[in-house]
């Protein structure tokens, strides 16, 4: 608007908001004495600006110009009309000229317009009006402003202010949209680190940028009033005249904000979940550092197991192990909480939880065994220390007895009683013997403990010899027979058996001129209702009659258009660049016509006497219908050529001769429509043929037509593949095609976590051929001249001879896996629906089965299905994957190895 602001303010031309017939927009050029002085370029910019405003809201709008020259001359009118004809950019419906009111100028204008009328009428429709009253014959009073006797309220200054405010606001909306788009691109292209601190910083920075953008968005959304007026309270008529409004921009901005909020919420959630996964993996690695061998090997040094104090220290260390195991339990609980929150790496987290639970069970068993062993060793050491103390006390007792008191009988007897009392308090261990102790504590016996036991008993033997010698002396002194003390060996206790760890992981009829023969009731002998017979014959009549019409239409196109391209009399109307493009425009339409006119129509007409044979007609000729595949593959080229030359006089002349109401492109679409019509008619025939003979042929015919439609559709997509180096025909026929979400991962090595962090899948269009699976990227072109048919950029190819599938993926019933070369490459495929997934899996299984049937030794190479993870592959693929690899199924349990035949190597 800045380029034409000066001329707009001078009211060179303006939009009042009025409308003429067919909702044509009125542009008024008021009286302007300096109109001839305005540069041609400036006038063109003003008219372009005014016509652009309504066209942005309503494409294809028409315009009416009111040229007010009541105070001007014919020369000025003529100049103005010529400049309008040269500069007006829109669809000009009518030019209404208010001619001069003075008698002389009116007369000159009438004479001048009479002689120049043909020149102007060839360029634009011009109507000369004598007065404002004549203007009302073309435009309603309520669509005209007061200067033309109308009632439409219009203020030019308000229009300028309002238009300026809206354009300024539109610039603001455009700027904020660009900022949102740039930020969204930044989020989508963010490379994720494996460091928690880097991800935390990324999360904070993205959140801060999002908040700043939200502040700017809210500022724009709150900008509902300009400095001069309120948009909400302003006249609706004036807003309509602008062709757009701030309300529309606000609605657009609100939708933009909602979409942006949704996108950021998803990104923020995925980033948080990725950070949670990194932290969980870090905690898992810390907890997983403990193992059974470490516990089993710890505290086995004999030099440290010679005292009860050391045993207490060892038992305290085991309590520390127990606390560390409780951390693993907390980590397992945290993992289940993440999985319950629909974490995107749910499968990995559950796997880690199962591993930790298995490790905890194993460690608990090891800890219990170790604790029992240490407790038993502690008991042994306590008994040995008790025995040594008894020996020490015995030696002390003998050393402290006073010899002078032994001289009397009473003194000797008293000393004997002290020794006997001491011997009665002897520890039971000393009466068991060395061999009994070795047997009782065999499970914990170490060389150090063994030496400790031997030293204790040696000490006991020495002390016992001293005691025996003292007793003999005292007995002689007391002259009294002392009954020897009988030592009773304690009964050895059988140590309880340690339980071995055990872990088990979780797992009325239509009238026409067709008459059927007298034999048709035999075909319907099984029908119980006459109405079914009538309905069936009704559909048969429609099939044959429409086939005749279809053949006639094809013939008309071939004779009325294709053959006429060789007609010398029409050669001047035919563009030179179209002369050699006949086969492109019509494709193999002659072949289709020959098949239907000379073969298929006669087959259908033969069903007049035997309507039961209609299914056989389709089955016998189903190979001929593949002509339609070539026709449909050529259809995009034909449509492109038609769009380029649709306005050619040659086609208009041919259409006129044929008296066709529709253009050629409508008739070129007939083969595609006919192909679809067949399956509809066959469905109707099946509906009325229940229980009749040869109904299976009808069912087969319907399936053949449906397969043909699918094959045609698939081949239409296949021809749009670009970038494939090779011949697509070598890959075999296209069996399936469709769009999927795809994740690619390598399930070995440390990159597993980083690959799972790719929470935004790739959108790929898959083509399943008989011998290969192609991954392509769909590309839709935009623009006025863009082809409506999408193209597919080739990305990757998998040979079906090295492909295996996993039918079920945890977390999503629509996902399945395609793995390649022994699971070195794994493609997680998410289908749009469960039905699509099942259809693809069935087709892939058929391919794998057919491959093996072609190999020698069919019984040696069956197609197998893993009952642990539902993966399917050929036995040859399994054998090749086992070469240089120790695993087949990552989720198999060792306890189930024997259930498969032939045996598989499992982890």
Give the per-residue pLDDT at 242.
Answer: 45
Which CATH number do you get for residue 842?
2.30.29.30
| DSSP-assigned states of every residue in 693-741 | TTHHHHHHHHHHHHHHHHHHHHHHHHTTEES--S-GGGG--EEEEEEEE
- Are 695 and 562 part of one and the same domain? yes
Considering 47-51, 153-157, 547-551, the range whose residues carry the highest mean pLDDT is 547-551
| DSSP-assigned states of every residue in 575-614 | -GGGTT-HHHHHTTHHHHHHHIIIIIHHHHHGGGT-GGGH
Residue where the block lists tokens 């017939």: 21
Backbone angles phi, psi at 856, to 5 degrees: -75, 150
Q: Span 517-542, mean pLDDT?
A: 68
The whole-angstrom separation of Cα 517 and Cα 528 is 20
Closest CA to 457 of 480, 430, 491, 494: 430
Q: How confident is the model at residue 471 (pLDDT cuts 50, 70, 90)?
A: confident
Residue that terminates a domain, selected from 439, 457, 475: 475
- Are 226 and 79 part of one and the same domain? no
Does 879 score more than 70 pLDDT?
A: no
Give the per-residue pLDDT at 520.
Answer: 52
Is residue 359 a part of any domain in this protein?
Answer: yes
Residue that terminates a domain, selected from 377, 406, 427: 377
- Are 249 and 370 part of one and the same domain? no
Range of the structural domain that residue 321 is part of? 304-377
- Are 41 and 52 part of one and the same domain? yes
Give the per-residue pLDDT at 316.
Answer: 63
Structural domains counted in the chain? 6
Least trusted range by pLDDT, from 85-99, 154-168, 305-319, 779-793: 305-319
Residues 634-676: tens digit of each pLDDT: 888 899 899 999 999 999 999 999 999 999 999 999 999 998 8
Considering 99-113, 152-166, 758-772, the range whose residues carry the highest mean pLDDT is 758-772
Is residue 191 a part of any domain in this protein?
Answer: yes
Give the per-residue pLDDT at 17.
Answer: 82
Is residue 868 a part of any domain in this protein?
Answer: no
Please write down the HEC assignment for all residues of 874-905: EHHHHHHHHCCCCCCCCCCCHHHHHHCCCCCC
Tokens of 251: 């609605």
- Are 688 and 630 part of one and the same domain? yes
- Are 202 and 117 part of one and the same domain? no
Closest CA to 29 of 80, 85, 93: 80
The neighbouring-strand residues paired with 797 are: 774
The whole-angstrom separation of Cα 492 and Cα 495 is 9
Is residue 563 a part of any domain in this protein?
Answer: yes
- Are 363 and 422 part of one and the same domain? no
Contact 1/36 with Cβ under 8 angstroms? no
Closest CA to 85 of 121, 54, 111: 121
The count of other CB atoms within 10 Å of the CB of residue 198 is 14
Least trusted range by pLDDT, from 34-48, 319-333, 417-431, 886-900: 886-900
- Are 373 and 386 part of one and the same domain? no
The count of other CB atoms within 10 Å of the CB of residue 211 is 9
C-alpha 777: how far from its chain's center? 13
Please write down the HEC assignment for all residues of 72-118: CCHHHHHHHHHHHHHHCCCEEEEEEEECCCCHHHHHHHHHHHHHHHH
Between 867 and 811, the more confident residue is 811
- Are 259 and 326 part of one and the same domain? no
Which CATH number do you get for residue 592?
1.20.900.10
- Are 636 and 581 part of one and the same domain? yes
- Are 691 and 544 part of one and the same domain? yes
Tokens of 278: 């990194």
- Tell me the pTM: 0.38
Least trusted range by pLDDT, from 39-53, 285-299, 395-409: 285-299
Q: Quick one: how many helices (H) and strands (E) in the chain? A: 30, 15
Contact 29/80 with Cβ under 8 angstroms? yes
Is residue 297 a part of any domain in this protein?
Answer: no
Q: 3-state DSSP helix/strand/coil percent for the chain, to nearest 5?
A: 60, 10, 25
Residues 41-75: tens digit of each pLDDT: 888 888 888 887 776 666 778 889 888 888 877 77
Is residue 601 a part of any domain in this protein?
Answer: yes
Strands 62-68 and 825-830: unpaired
| DSSP-assigned states of every residue in 850-878 | HHHHTSS-GGGS-EEE-TTT-EEEEHHHH
Between 692 and 791, the more confident residue is 791
Mean pLDDT, the chain, whole residue set: 75
The whole-angstrom separation of Cα 815 and Cα 807 is 8
Burial class of 40 by CB neighbour count within 10 A (0 to 12, 13 to 18, 19+): exposed
Give the per-residue pLDDT at 535.
Answer: 85
Is residue 897 a part of any domain in this protein?
Answer: no
Q: Which helix (H) or strand (E) holds 804?
A: strand 803-806
Least trusted range by pLDDT, from 40-54, 751-765, 846-860: 751-765
Q: Is 652 helix (H, G, I), strand (E, B) or coil?
A: helix
Angle, to 10 degrees, between the axis of helix 246-287 and the axis of helix 346-400?
30
Does 334 score more than 90 pLDDT?
A: no
Sheet architecture: strand order including 91-98:
14-19, 25-29, 62-68, 91-98, 126-129
Does 682 score more than 80 pLDDT?
A: yes
The whole-angstrom separation of Cα 507 and Cα 228 is 73
Residues 101-150: tens digit of each pLDDT: 777 777 776 777 776 666 665 567 888 888 888 888 888 888 888 888 88
Give the per-residue pLDDT at 422.
Answer: 86
Residue that terminates a domain, selected from 341, 360, 377: 377
Give the per-residue pLDDT at 663.
Answer: 92
Burial class of 343 by CB neighbour count within 10 A (0 to 12, 13 to 18, 19+): buried
Contact 664/561 with Cβ under 8 angstroms? yes
C-alpha 505: how far from its chain's center? 32
Q: Span 308-313, mean pLDDT?
A: 60
- Are 371 and 392 part of one and the same domain? no
Least trusted range by pLDDT, from 259-263, 268-272, 393-397, 513-517: 513-517
| DSSP-assigned states of every residue in 159-211 | HHHHHHHHHHHHHHHHHHHHHHHHHHHHHHTPPPPS-HHHHHHHHHHHHHHHH
Give the per-residue pLDDT at 403.
Answer: 65
Task: Supply the Cα-derived Rg of the chain in whole angstroms.
Answer: 50
Is residue 287 a part of any domain in this protein?
Answer: no
């Amino acid at each position: 608007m800045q380029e034409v602001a000066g001329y707009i303010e001078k009211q060179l031309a303006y939009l009042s908001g009025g409308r003429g017939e067919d909702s044509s927009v009125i542009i008024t050029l008021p009286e302007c004495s300096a109109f001839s002085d305005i540069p041609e370029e400036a006038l063109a910019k003003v008219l372009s600006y005014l016509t652009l405003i309504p066209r942005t809201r309503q494409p294809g709008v028409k315009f009416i110009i009111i040229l007010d020259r009541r105070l001007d001359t014919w020369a000025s009118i003529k100049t103005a009309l010529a400049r309008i004809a040269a500069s007006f950019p829109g669809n000009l419906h009518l030019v209404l000229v208010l001619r001069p009111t003075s008698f002389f100028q009116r007369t000159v204008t009438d004479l001048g317009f009479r002689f120049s009328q043909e020149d102007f009428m060839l360029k634009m429709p011009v109507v000369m009006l004598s007065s404002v009253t004549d203007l009302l014959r073309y435009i309603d009073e309520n669509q005209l402003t007061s200067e033309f006797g109308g009632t439409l309220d219009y203020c030019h200054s308000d229009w300028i202010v309002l238009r300026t405010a809206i354009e300024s606001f539109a610039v603001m909306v455009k700027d904020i949209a660009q900022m949102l788009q740039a930020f969204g691109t930044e989020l989508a292209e963010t490379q994720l680190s494996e460091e928690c601190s880097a991800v935390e910083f990324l999360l904070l920075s993205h959140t801060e940028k999002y908040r700043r953008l939200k502040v700017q968005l809210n500022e724009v959304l709150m900008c509902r009033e300009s400095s001069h007026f309120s948009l909400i309270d302003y006249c609706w008529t004036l807003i309509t005249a602008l062709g757009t409004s701030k309300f529309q921009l606000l609605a657009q901005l609100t939708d933009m904000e909602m979409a942006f909020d949704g996108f950021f919420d998803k990104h923020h959630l995925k980033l948080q979940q990725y950070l949670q996964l990194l932290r969980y993996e870090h905690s898992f690695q810390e907890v997983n550092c403990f193992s059974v061998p470490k516990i089993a090997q710890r505290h086995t040094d004999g030099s440290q197991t010679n005292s009860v104090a050391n045993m207490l220290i060892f038992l305290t260390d085991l309590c520390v192990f127990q606390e560390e195991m409780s951390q693993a339990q907390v980590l397992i609980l945290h993992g289940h909480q993440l999985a319950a929150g629909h974490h995107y790496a749910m499968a990995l987290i559950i796997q880690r939880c199962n591993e930790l639970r298995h490790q905890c069970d194993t460690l608990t068993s090891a800890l219990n065994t170790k604790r029992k062993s240490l407790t038993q060793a502690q008991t042994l050491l306590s008994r040995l220390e008790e025995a040594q103390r008894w020996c020490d006390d015995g030696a002390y007792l003998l050393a402290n007895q006073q010899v002078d008191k032994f001289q009397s009988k009473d003194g000797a007897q008293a000393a004997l009683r002290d020794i006997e009392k001491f011997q009665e308090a002897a520890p039971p261990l000393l009466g068991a013997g060395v061999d009994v102790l070795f047997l009782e504590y065999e499970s914990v016996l170490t060389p150090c403990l063994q030496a400790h036991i031997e030293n204790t008993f040696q000490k006991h033997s020495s002390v016992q010899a001293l005691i025996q010698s003292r007793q003999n002396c005292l007995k002689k002194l007391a002259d009294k027979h002392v009954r020897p003390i009988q030592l009773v060996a304690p009964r050895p206790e059988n140590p309880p058996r340690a339980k071995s760890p055990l872990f088990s992981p979780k797992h009325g009829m239509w009238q026409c001129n067709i008459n059927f023969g007298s034999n048709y009731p035999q075909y319907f002998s099984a029908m119980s209702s006459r109405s079914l017979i009538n309905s069936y014959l009704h559909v048969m009549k429609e099939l044959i009659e429409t086939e005749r019409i279809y053949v006639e239409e094809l013939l008309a196109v071939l004779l009325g258009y294709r053959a006429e391209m060789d007609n010398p009399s029409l050669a001047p109307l035919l563009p030179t660049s179209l002369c050699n493009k006949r086969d492109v425009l019509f494709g193999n339409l002659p072949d289709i016509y020959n098949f239907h006119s000379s073969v298929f129509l006669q087959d259908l007409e033969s069903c007049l006497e035997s309507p039961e044979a209609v299914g056989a007609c389709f089955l016998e000729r189903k190979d001929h219908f593949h002509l339609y595949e070539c026709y449909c593959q050529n259809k995009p080229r034909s449509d492109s050529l038609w769009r380029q030359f649709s306005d050619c006089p040659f086609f208009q002349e041919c259409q006129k001769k044929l008296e066709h109401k529709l253009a050629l492109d409508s008739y070129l679409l007939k083969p595609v429509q006919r192909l679809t019509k067949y399956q509809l008619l066959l469905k109707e025939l099946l509906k009325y043929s229940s229980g009749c003979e040869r109904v299976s042929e009808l069912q087969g015919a319907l399936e053949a037509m449906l397969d043909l439609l699918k094959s045609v559709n698939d081949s239409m997509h296949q021809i749009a593949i670009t970038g494939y180096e090779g011949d697509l025909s070598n890959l075999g026929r296209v069996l399936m095609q469709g769009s999927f979400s795809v994740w690619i991962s390598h399930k070995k090595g440390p990159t597993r976590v980083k690959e799972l962090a790719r929470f935004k899948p790739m959108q790929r269009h898959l083509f399943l051929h008989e011998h290969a699976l192609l991954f392509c990227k769909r590309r839709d072109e935009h623009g006025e001249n863009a082809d409506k048919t999408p193209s597919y950029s080739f990305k990757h190819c998998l040979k079906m001879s090295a492909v295996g599938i996993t039918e079920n993926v945890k977390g999503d019933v629509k996902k399945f896996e395609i793995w390649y070369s022994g699971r070195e490459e794994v493609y997680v495929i998410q289908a749009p629906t469960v039905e699509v997934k099942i259809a693809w899996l069935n087709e892939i299984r058929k391919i794998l089965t057919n491959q093996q049937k072609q190999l020698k030794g069919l019984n040696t190479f069956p197609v197998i299905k893993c009952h642990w993870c539902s993966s399917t592959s050929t036995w040859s693929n399994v054998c090749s994957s086992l070469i240089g690899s120790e695993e087949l199924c990552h989720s198999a349990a060792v306890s189930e190895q024997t259930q498969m035949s032939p045996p598989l190597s499992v982890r």
